[in-house]
Amino acid sequence: MSADNTQKGIEKIRREYAGEELSKSAVDNDPIAQFEEWFEQALSADVLDANAMTLSTVSGDGQPSSRIVLLKGIVNNGFRFYTNYGSRKGQEMEENPLASLCFYWAQLSRQVRIEGKVERLSRETSESYFQQRPRLSKIGAWASKQSNEVSSREELESKFEELKKRFDGQDVPLPDFWGGYLLVPHRIEFWQGRPGRLHDRVCYKKEAEEWQISRLAP
């Protein structure tokens, strides 16, 4: 297929959205509570990887980058996830702690955009989560110098097998280079797809420690 035909094919990709109405009067005054309600509905609808979210970070020189990570906790002041501190995202969050999250649940025609500041979780919190992970996932965390170049798949697998032997018969400890983050939001937007592209957008902004709610044009 030629590039022109591919472009024409892309231009024809569309679908109509038919979600339920979302209004300022219907949402919770607390955006975290509103998120929990939508998240539970996504789980009930069997949305695949409902906790998958796009994490966007910005380097010290202003270059944005995005990747999918998994939400691993909702608390009253934010959203938790875990990663390698030495990864690209880990390094960028050290340089610039401002970051954003985006959830998209296609089956429900819903999107949630979250902006805020990231901070590391305590060692104790990271330890508690790490010990819940499957054993092979723990070993995988040790084996991967995330975002660094590797010469081959064989090199990675060899390191993995080496660590399986090293930790044989014992608990796998939490690596010093791995742990959790909390994104504390100052802006959360709930987007509901609607017919005719007249989507509903309800935005929460934190001002003087209070959440202000507004409706945005689609």
Q: Read off the pLDDT of residues 91-142 as tens digits, 9 standing for 90 and up.
A: 999 999 999 999 999 999 999 999 999 999 999 999 999 999 999 999 999 9
Q: Residue 14 annotated as binding?
A: yes
Q: In Å, how far are 36, 104, 194 from 133, measured between CA atoms? A: 23, 25, 39
77: nearest Cα among 43, 118, 42:
118
The set of residues, in sequence order, having a beta carbon less than 8 Å from that of 199 and lying 6+ positions away, is 17, 191, 192, 193, 218
Q: Residue 108 annotated as binding?
A: no
CA dist 136 and 215 (Å) reads 46
Q: Residue 201 annotated as binding?
A: yes
* pLDDT tens string 154-195: 999 999 999 999 999 999 999 999 999 999 999 999 999 999
Instruction: Locate the domains of the chain by residue range.
Output: 18-131+176-216, 134-173
Q: Scanning the structure block, which residue is given the tokens 């660590």? A: 163
pTM > 0.75: yes
* pLDDT tens string 51-87: 999 999 999 999 999 999 999 999 989 999 999 999 9
Q: In the numeric block, which tokens belong to residue 110?
A: 């819903």
Residue 17: band (very low, low, confident or very high) from pLDDT cuts 50, 70, 90: confident
Which one is catalytic: 123, 166, 197, 215?
Answer: 197
Domain spanning 18-131+176-216: CATH superfamily: Electron Transport, Fmn-binding Protein; Chain A (2.30.110.10)
Strand partners, 216: 201
- Known catalytic membership, residue 197: yes
Q: Residue 198 annotated as binding?
A: yes
Name the residue type at position 196. Answer: G
